[in-house]
């Protein structure tokens, strides 16, 4: 229908190739990686899932959430509650016993059902996101204010979880699971199945989000990001679009949380607090916001490097991570996916100088 410009076409193809490589690599991973490494990549894929969600709200709709740990945590806790009940097999979960609880609190009961858990993993984060989102976006809290607010939210939830040891395991979080839907959680087979489940979720999320951003809604989101009031005076309701995309990203984070728990074996308030929430944003920034392959790449690369470097130089990985964040945001605002544009940029700068 329309002639795409050369630059546009080239860029899209570059990213398509990149994402194909990533997915092929991940699909093949269990065949050449030790189960430990594979398990770690499983975890990174959960992170990539969150990163896609964050990119949808930050890269496309311009909402920087520093509290996505909340949604990740809600999904993860829902799953963990189910696994914990499975592990304790009818008895009171261990942490409740030593918190002097006498019987299972009512809101834990439904989590005995697998179907309910799977629904809750998505619906709980989405409901919370819908409430928070509609309040803040209808009241036009934007930019930095929203970021700080979301940060407060993460902090509040984490503190709350820590304070309610009898219900949520306190700072220990929920851990020591034995089976997931009947399969032993430590066995390599289960891990492989979980790995592929995560990969499938990631691919689905990628394809789904790509579908969305190619639709008009993607352009509306960008419009809201670039000039929210203009979008409003073009007849769009920014709040509705923002709440939608915020809920979408909360759902992705919730699913990621649910897949994270059986693979890592623990969810604790530490993982939903401010620092991990900011790290989530950093994966997106490093990979390249505003593209869908960027966050996937960013989450995989940053976390892989983090694991690798903290294994090799336990005392110094913080230097490295801090350095990477600084350098990427300063000199590569487009993230890793924009590396290929650098030669062109340098050329342009040279030309300018010559002029």
Q: Given candidates 3, 107, 182, 351, which one binds another protein under the rule CB under 8 A?
A: 3
Query: Any contact of residue 344 with another protein (CB under 8 A)?
Result: no
Q: How far is the CB of 346 from another protein (least distance, A)?
A: 17
The encoded tokens of residue 343 equal 């030669």
Query: Any contact of residue 129 with another protein (CB under 8 A)?
Result: no
Query: Any contact of residue 351 with another protein (CB under 8 A)?
Result: no
Number of residues that bind another protein (CB under 8 A): 132
Q: How far is the CB of 353 from another protein (least distance, A)?
A: 19
Any idea what the Cα angle at residue 58 is, between residues 56 and 60, rounded to 5°? 55
Burial class (CB in 10 A: 0-12, 13-18, 19+), 164: middle
Q: Given candidates 176, 208, 305, 332, which one binds another protein under the rule CB under 8 A?
A: 176
**Tokens 């920014």, located at residue:** 238
| CB proximity list for 319: less than 8 A, separation 6 or greater | none
Of 36, 29, 52, give the one whose Cα is nearest residue 202: 52
115 versus 267: smaller Cβ distance to another protein: 267
116 versus 264: smaller Cβ distance to another protein: 264
Query: Any contact of residue 333 with another protein (CB under 8 A)?
Result: yes
| CB proximity list for 276: less than 8 A, separation 6 or greater | 69, 72, 270
127 versus 270: smaller Cβ distance to another protein: 270
134 versus 181: smaller Cβ distance to another protein: 134
Q: Which of residues 277-306 bind another protein (CB under 8 A)?
A: 278, 281-282, 285
Cα separation, 53 vs 247, whole angstroms: 9
Q: How far is the CB of 325 from another protein (least distance, A)?
A: 3
Query: Any contact of residue 30 with another protein (CB under 8 A)?
Result: yes
Q: Which of residues 147-166 bind another protein (CB under 8 A)?
A: 147-149, 151-153, 155-156, 159-160, 162-163, 165
Residue 175 DSSP one-character state: E
Q: How far is the CB of 115 from another protein (least distance, A)?
A: 26
Query: Any contact of residue 168 with another protein (CB under 8 A)?
Result: no
116 versus 203: smaller Cβ distance to another protein: 203
Cα separation, 245 vs 60, whole angstroms: 9
Q: Which of residues 213-242 bind another protein (CB under 8 A)?
A: 214-217, 219-220, 222-223, 225-238, 240-241
Cα separation, 192 vs 281, whole angstroms: 28
Helix, strand, coil shares of the chain as percentages rounded to 5? 80, 0, 20
Query: Any contact of residue 177 with another protein (CB under 8 A)?
Result: yes
Count of beta carbons in the 10 Å neighbourhood of residue 1: 3
User: Which phi and psi angles does 12 have, rounded to 5°?
Assistant: -60, -40
The encoded tokens of residue 197 equal 């489940």
Q: How far is the CB of 122 from another protein (least distance, A)?
A: 18
């Amino acid at each position: 229908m329309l002639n795409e410009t050369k630059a546009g076409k080239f860029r899209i193809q570059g990213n398509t190739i990149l994402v194909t490589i990533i997915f092929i690599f991940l699909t093949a991973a269990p065949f050449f990686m030790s189960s430990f490494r594979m398990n770690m990549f499983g975890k990174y894929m959960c992170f990539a899932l969150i990163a896609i969600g964050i990119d949808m709200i930050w890269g496309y709709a311009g909402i920087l959430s520093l509290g996505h740990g909340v949604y990740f945590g809600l999904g993860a806790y829902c799953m963990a509650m189910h696994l914990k009940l499975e592990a304790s097999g009818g008895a009171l979960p261990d942490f409740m016993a030593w918190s002097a609880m006498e019987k299972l609190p009512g809101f834990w009961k439904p989590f005995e059902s697998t179907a309910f858990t799977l629904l809750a993993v998505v619906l709980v984060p989405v409901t919370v996101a819908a409430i928070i989102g509609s309040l803040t976006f209808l009241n036009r809290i934007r930019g930095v204010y929203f970021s700080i607010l979301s940060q407060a939210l993460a902090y509040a939830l984490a503190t709350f979880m820590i304070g309610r040891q009898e219900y949520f395991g306190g700072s220990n979080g929920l851990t020591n699971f034995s089976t997931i839907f009947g399969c032993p959680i430590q066995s390599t087979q289960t891990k492989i199945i979980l790995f592929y489940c995560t990969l499938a979720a990631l691919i689905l999320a990628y394809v789904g989000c790509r579908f969305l951003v190619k639709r008009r809604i993607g352009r509306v989101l960008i419009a809201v990001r670039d000039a929210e009031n203009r979008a409003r005076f073009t007849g769009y309701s920014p709040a509705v679009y923002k709440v939608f995309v915020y809920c979408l990203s909360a759902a992705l984070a919730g699913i990621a949380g649910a897949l994270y728990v059986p693979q890592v074996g623990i969810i604790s308030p530490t993982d939903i607090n401010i620092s991990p929430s900011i790290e989530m944003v950093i994966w997106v920034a490093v990979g390249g916001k505003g593209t869908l392959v960027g966050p996937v790449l960013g989450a995989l690369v940053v976390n892989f490097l983090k694991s690798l470097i903290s294994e090799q130089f336990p005392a110094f990985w913080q230097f490295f991570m801090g350095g990477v964040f600084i350098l990427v945001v300063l000199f590569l605002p487009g993230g890793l996916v924009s590396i290929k544009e650098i030669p062109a940029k340098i050329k342009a700068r040279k030309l300018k100088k010559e002029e």
